[in-house]
Amino acid sequence: MLAFRLTGLPDSRLPLYLYCVGTQEEKVLHRPDGFPVYQLFLSRGGEGQFRIPGKGTWTMGAGQLFIVEPGIAHEYVPHSKSKGELGYIGIGGASTGSVLHSAGLLQNEPYPISGFEFMWSRLTDLWQGLNQGVTEMWNTSALIYQLILDIAQSKIASDIGRVDIGSSMVQEEIVTRSNQESDPGKDALIRAVALMHTHYQDDLLLRHVADAVGYSVQHLNRLFHHHYDVTGHQYMQRLRLQKASDWLDKHPSASVREAAETIGMEVNYFIRMFKREFGETPGKGIKHRNQLQMEKGTLKAP
């Protein structure tokens, strides 16, 4: 176990800084007043429940990450038969929230990340650097930023196999580069998918993605077709539509226009593509969701 390490007073000039780092055997955490900075929790080998009053309760298993924002009351209760280790990294700084949000890491539930042991080793490196007094705050800030980018890439690699494309789920698992000989084509594909996940709301064209990963559009399309049986454009469009559908699930009272705006599509085009992808218009889906909400309310009424 790595004992709790606090870095001391932060340097206000740093947009990101390490507040604390360490690991512990799984035990009950109860913080009714929250924590002063963002907390990244990593579960290694155990399982327990995170609860945020007013928001929900989630089971967190091995190989998962959960980020809790500053000042949010929370508690963690490990399962009685669970024997694991819980790592924590406290990150402060004026840019922390925006960087985590831009990286797609601020989700309201625990989620798995690929290459978990590599991430755990990065946590250990941070702790050892502080413990030995060899890591200055400026260098630590750069390490924190790189860690966030690595986690974002690992999360996207983990998400790749769960993106709903057409009527079936993509089953291919992309093995982390630390466990295999480097494959330039697969590395480029991972970077391309990462860009699509990060910029699905922007006016991102496939040629922009191809330029960014150093491939021609034709070559990148061959990679997508080989791994997912769709073109890069089809993958990107279906990702956007799935994101819009997920957003509507969380916002049942939203309008079709708002849903289209979340993915940067013109409304009429969005309606047409949504119906082609899911077999019904987004407006019909909204009515169905509202009806379900009303039925649930009726069932709960005394």
Q: Is pTM beyond 0.75 here? A: no
Phi, psi for 90 (deg, rounded to 5): -95, 125
The yes-or-no verdict on residue 163 having pLDDT over 60 is no
What pLDDT is stored for residue 164 in this prediction? 44
- Average of per-residue pLDDT values in the chain: 81
CB contact set of 292 (below 8 Å; sequence gap of 6+): 252
Q: Mind listing the pLDDT tens digit for each residue in 205-248? A: 899 899 888 899 999 999 999 888 899 999 999 999 998 988 88
The residue extents of the domains of the chain are: 5-159, 179-302
* pLDDT band at residue 158 under the 50/70/90 scheme: low
Return the closest-CA partner of residue 174 out of 242, 115, 240. Answer: 115
Which tokens in the block code for residue 225? 């077709």
What pLDDT is stored for residue 187 in this prediction? 79
The yes-or-no verdict on residue 43 having pLDDT over 80 is yes
CATH number corresponding to 179-302: 1.10.10.60
CATH number corresponding to 5-159: 2.60.120.280
